[in-house]
Structure 1
Amino acid sequence: MRKVLERAQPVARDLPPAPKTATLSSASTRCLTKYGATGSMDTEYGLEIRADIDQNHDGDRMSGSMEQNASIETIDRAAEHHLRTKIDLRLVPIMCMLYLFCFIDRANVGNAKIAGLDRDLGMKGYDYNMILTSFYITFILSEIPALLLCKRIGPRLFLPLSTVLFGICSIATAFVTNTLQACIVRALLGIFEAGMLPGIAYALSRWYTRAELAFRLSLYIVTAPIAGAFGGLLASAILTLPHFGTLTSWRMIFAIEGLLTIVAGLLALLLLTDRPSTAPWLTPSEKALCSLRLLRERPTGPRTLLDAPTPSKFLRGSLLNPLTLSVALVFLLDAVTVQALAFFLPTVVKSLFPPSTSQTTLQLLTVPPYLAGAAATVLLPLLSWRLDHRQGLFLIPAALVVTGYAMFVFSRDTSVRYAAAFLAAGSFALGPLTNAQVCANCVSDTAKNAGLAVNGMMAAVGGLVGTWAFLPWDAPGYAVGNGLNLGTGAGIFVVSAGTWWWMGWDNGRREREEEEAGRGEWFRGLSAEEREGLEWRHPGFRWKP
């Protein structure tokens, strides 16, 4: 078997050319050599380690300790590029498809509303907002249990099963006859959709490095604004049909889109793979390379890709991790804007144009702002990949949101307010950036799972607030709703900038304490397992902006 991971003795003539060698950062080097790993460091080619893949743990464990005089593990850059491309082509399209239908089935109620949903169900007052709220109540309550279930049964089963179930809920919505029934079906939809966004992020974190992850997340999260655009186009096309079976008008939207969702879920069940070590489409050497790529970013954590969940790891990855909580607050504020756009952009667009404007035209006018959001969602994470940086990039969508909603608040010109929707759609970019930032600052698989669950739950709280952002009595200017979103944009900017400063300050503090304290003092009385379980409290850990 040709080895992608080439083993060479530490002799100058055997060393591969430097450009093809993956080296660890100086921070990782200090962590590995000072805190429990005794490997020696070759200054040009990286850490000397023994990194055989232990097949007794499904290929997910790096065996042995890092020892002096061991052989040098190097990564061939061309092989890594080939592997990354192979993973991209195999996984990302499936995740995009699943999240596309997830968001369509969540947001199609907005398209159905302007097609007569509210009239046919006899809605009045806050009935529409109650329907949206029923979704988010169960969504919030189900977020953490859903991610725990995802870890327990694996993303391969969890994601397709969830997709089929919320597709069924979409079909059921086509048959509701009153507001109460609509609330019940939307509540069930919230249960089954709760784990999708963080679940896909969690699944991809098993395959991609810290720098690579944000861009890959963007490729499926971008389907949210695309779903808004595609959903508007699809709804327009569906509404041209005279009937679908016995269903007509807005009922056809839910039925047809629900059927497509179920087909997507069944297809994903055939194609998805849980993790590198069980992928039949990877060679043994490619599986080994997958493990090494991820484990080299864990100088202070467990040497297993899939660790056993414990309460301490779960808490340290979520409620006790200050970075996770800060990022989750940013995502909460962002979700207010994102969900408000998803649910109310058709309504806001309708308020901007004459009453004589046709339904088809109104549906099509919602498409361009979503496309602008899609562009921002991909371009900023692409920049994040190149820079291996996320926190500072939070400030760009925040500035776009503030500018856009300031235009909504202070202008009554139709063209200006429609242009403001394009800027506000920049808020979609924070989805991949925040989830990638949580993964970058959680060490173990359990901590990532917990951190993503909390991040998703907080976003759901923001989504719940967003359902009450635009109220009937606030029409047509929606001063309260636009003012609320202006405030959330400003909040994102302040929290993101403050956290960025704190990360640098705390890393400096850790450096100083590292120089002052001896290694023995840090770990007195701790077993090796307890040292690995320290997560971000490990003295060798550094925050990654």
Structure 2
Amino acid sequence: MAQKIEEKQQFEYGADDKHTEAQLTPDVESKNSKELKSGDGGLSNDDVVLQYDKHEARRILRKIDYRLIPLLGLLYLLAYLDRSNIGNARIAGMYEDLELYGLRYNTALTVFFVPYALFEVPSNIVLKMIRPSIWISILCFSWGLVMTLMGLVTSYEGLIAARIFLGVTEAGFFPAATYLLTIWYQRYEVQSRMAIFYAAASLSGAFSGLLAFAIEKMDGIAGLAGWKWIFILEGLAPVAVSFSLYFLLPDSPETAKFLTKEEREFVVNRIALQTGTGHGRVTNSDKITMAQIKSAFGDWRIWMAILPFWACSIGTYGFTATVPVVVKQLGYTSSHAQLMTIPIYVVAMVSTVIVAFWADHVQQRTPFIIGGFSIGVIGFIAELAIPHPKYPGVTYFFLFLVATGLYCPFTCIVTLIANNLAPSSKRAVGMALLISVGNMGGICGSNIYLAKQAPKYPVGFGVGLTTCVLGIIAAFVLRREYSRQNQLRDALIAQEGAETLKARYTDQELLDLGDRSPFFRYTL
């Protein structure tokens, strides 16, 4: 009977009414893992956790926050800056110098996303085999080097080649960073942390405009155009940062040197024991198997979540690459257009963080996906309806709603899937799959804002509107399905009893069942 129940209780992530999720370590087994499981000084696993009060627990979490989140935020800011600064370089003279007329500019945007999507799942597999501090250092150095060399291109063909290599080198960072968060924090602690470093994507838009405004003034220095200096200087930054990551980026709770031995035990065990019902332990040290890879690829709910992900990626990438042009064509100079994009991204950043903390507090995901896209729908409808550039102030105002509606739902989508996949090997593959296929939306987003349709961009804003509506529908479907499965499992336990049901399985079998365990509950 339990077999036909296809859903899960908090087992891998932990979930009672205060469902707390967690995971141990990214498949890098610590040589101290046995010691951590047994605690120190003869303490049981429960005692290792219970010996810390809430104040002490918060203190330890803050130590992790201060070490991990700013670093991931900085890296994501640099990555997003390097992929999106082509919009700033366009209006700084690159468009004319490289003769990016017709669909050439759109093609240069598009080619980035093909290797970017293809290499995300393989990258997360590599992450399971190599220490995160090493792998992410390699990625950071590589994309910075490619960006720096992009400043030396002199032809359209050279730009295309550089964008392809940029896609290859940036592909692994975001899935690696999001998965890394899930091994440090419990279920309803993840999104708020993810939003802080993802907000760097919003901030990068503002930072990019500010930097471009300043760097563009270097036009002519060393015989290089201002747009080339944008690429060179914004590429050297990640190269410099990459050399420090080996020493600064912690790999897992079990091996974190910035924590004391007792603090490491506490972090590991608070995650392992947060199952909500006390049935077994949670672990992230399971190895990737073909069965779990197939399970991830065969989970239709991941594919359904790709629809709202596409709404974000299609809208965000197209919007980011085009908004400087949209603002400029409202009647502003190139330099002022760069500066006027800054408030748009700042509002999007603040909104993303507020929504994430709110979602973690109320332990919900789909209502915020639906709400965010609804704001985006209003913004897109307004942009389609306003006669451009007749009302520049009104047009500019609704760009804020578009940005807010596209950025806010993103972390909700990623954490919804992260919360609802187990064991950790399935979660690693499933998250990478979601992000990989979801980022293919960037291919579409790069080709819907056509230069010949400026400044109204009916196709660009129209596609953005359509995908937001589809994202809302998909969120409703996912909420209904997850709720239905939770109710089925509640009914089964009420009918047969938790202990009777648990007696049918060994602890390892329940771990292997992951999100199919009758004791696993989905986040809604």
- So what's the TM-score if we normalise by structure 2? 0.88
Deviation, structure 1 residue 70: 9.9
Q: State the shift of 1:268 in Å.
A: 2.2
Does residue 478 of structure 2 align to residue 507 of structure 1?
Answer: no
Alignment of 1:18-417 (within 5 A): 58=33, 62=37, 74=50, 75-298=52-275, 303-316=282-295, 318-353=296-331, 357-412=332-387, 413-417=391-395
Q: Using the TM superposition, give the Cα deviation of residue 248 of structure 1 relative to its aligned residue in structure 2, in angstroms.
A: 2.5
Q: 1:102 to 1:70 in 2, by over 3 A?
A: closer
Distance 1:521 1:380 in 2: 40
CA RMSD in angstroms, aligned pairs only: 2.7
Aligned to 2:465: 486
**Post-superposition shift, 1:300?**
6.5
Matches within 5 A, 1:447-526: 447-516=426-495
Higher deviation after alignment, 281-290 or 153-162: 153-162
Q: Deviations over 1:348-402 (max 9, x none)?
A: 212222xxx3221111111111111111111000112222222221112111110
Q: Which runs of 5+ in 2 are unaligned?
A: 1-8, 15-19, 21-28
Partner of 2:3: none
154-163 or 377-386, which deviates more = 154-163
Deviations 1:433-474 (A, max 9, x none): 222222211232212211220121122111111101201232
Post-superposition offset of 1:270: 2.2
Deviations 1:61-81 (A, max 9, x none): 7469xxxx9976524211110
One-letter amino acid matched to 1:475: A
Residues 486-526 of structure 1 deviation map (CA, whole Å, 9 limit, x = unaligned) = 11111111111221122212211222233445789978997
Q: Determine helix, strand or coil for the equivalent of 1:352.
A: coil
**CA distance, structure 2, for counterparts of residue 154 and residue 107 of structure 1:** 28
Distance between the aligned counterparts of 2:509 and 2:269, measured in 1?
A: 23
Tell me if the contact between 2:279 and 2:507 (Cα under 8 Å) persists in the aligned partners: no
SS in 1 for 2:364: coil
Residue aligned with 1:540, SS = coil
Distance 2:111 2:156 in 1: 11
For 1:414 and 1:71, how far apart are their aligned partners in 2?
Answer: 61
Structure 1 letter corresponding to 2:384: V
Once the two structures are superposed, what CA deviation does each residue of 1:82-104 show, in whole Å capped at 9, x if it has no partner? Answer: 01111111111111110010001
Moved more, 259-268 or 521-530: 521-530
Q: Following TM superposition, by how much is the alpha carbon of 1:324 offset from its aligned partner in structure 2, in angstroms?
A: 2.9
Which range moves more in the overlay, 126-135 or 382-391? 382-391
- For 1:449 and 1:271, locate their aligned partners in 2 and report how far apart those are by CA, in whole Å: 23
Structure 1 residues 527 and 57: CA distance shift in structure 2, 3 A: farther
Q: Which consecutive residues of structure 1, in runs of 5 or more, have no partner in the other structure?
A: 1-26, 33-45, 47-53
The CA distance in 1 between the partners of 2:362 and 2:502, in whole Å, is 34
- In structure 2, do the counterparts of structure 1 residues 511 and 179 end up closer, same or farther at CA, with 3 Å as the change threshold? same
Name the aligned partner's letter for residue 113 of structure 1.
R
Q: Contact 1:59–1:277 (CA<8 Å) still a contact in 2?
A: no
**Contact conserved, 2:307 with 2:470, CA < 8 A, in 1?**
no
Alignment check: 8 A CA contact 1:60 1:291 kept: no
Local SS of the residue matching 1:222: helix
What is the identity, as a one-letter code, of the residue corresponding to 1:473? K
Q: Distance in 1 between matches of 2:109 and 2:227?
A: 17
Pick closer, same or farther for the CA change 1:453–1:127 going to 2, 3 Å. Answer: same
CA contact (8 A) 2:344 2:403 kept: yes
User: What letter corresponds to residue 433 of structure 2 in structure 1?
Assistant: V
Distance in 2 of aligned mates of 1:301 and 1:439: 20
Q: What amino acid is the match of 1:364?
A: L
Aligned residue type for 1:404: G
Query: Which one is further off, 494-503 or 180-189?
Result: 494-503
**Higher mean Cα deviation, 437-446 or 285-294?**
437-446
* Cα distance change, pair 204–527 in 1 and its aligned pair in 2 (3 A): same
Q: The residue matched to 1:280 in structure 2 has which SS?
A: coil
Partner AA of 2:33 in structure 1? D
SS at match of 2:259: coil
Change (3 A) 1:210 1:528: closer
Residue 263 of structure 1: how far off its partner (Å): 1.0
Amino acid corresponding to residue 155 of structure 1 in structure 2: P
Q: Which residue of 2 aligns with 1:424?
A: 402
Q: Could you say which structure has the larger radius of gyration?
A: 1
Q: Is the 8 A contact 2:271 2:282 kept in 1?
A: no
Q: More relative contact order in 1 or in 2 (CA 8 Å, sep 6+)?
A: 2
CA–CA distance in 1 between the matches of 2:466 and 2:279?
Answer: 39
Q: What is the identity percentage for the equivalent residue pairs of Structure 1 and Structure 2?
A: 26
**Native 8 Å contact 1:212 1:385 kept in 2:** yes
Say which is worse superposed, 240-249 or 200-209, in terms of deviation: 240-249
Q: What letter matches 2:369 in structure 1?
A: F
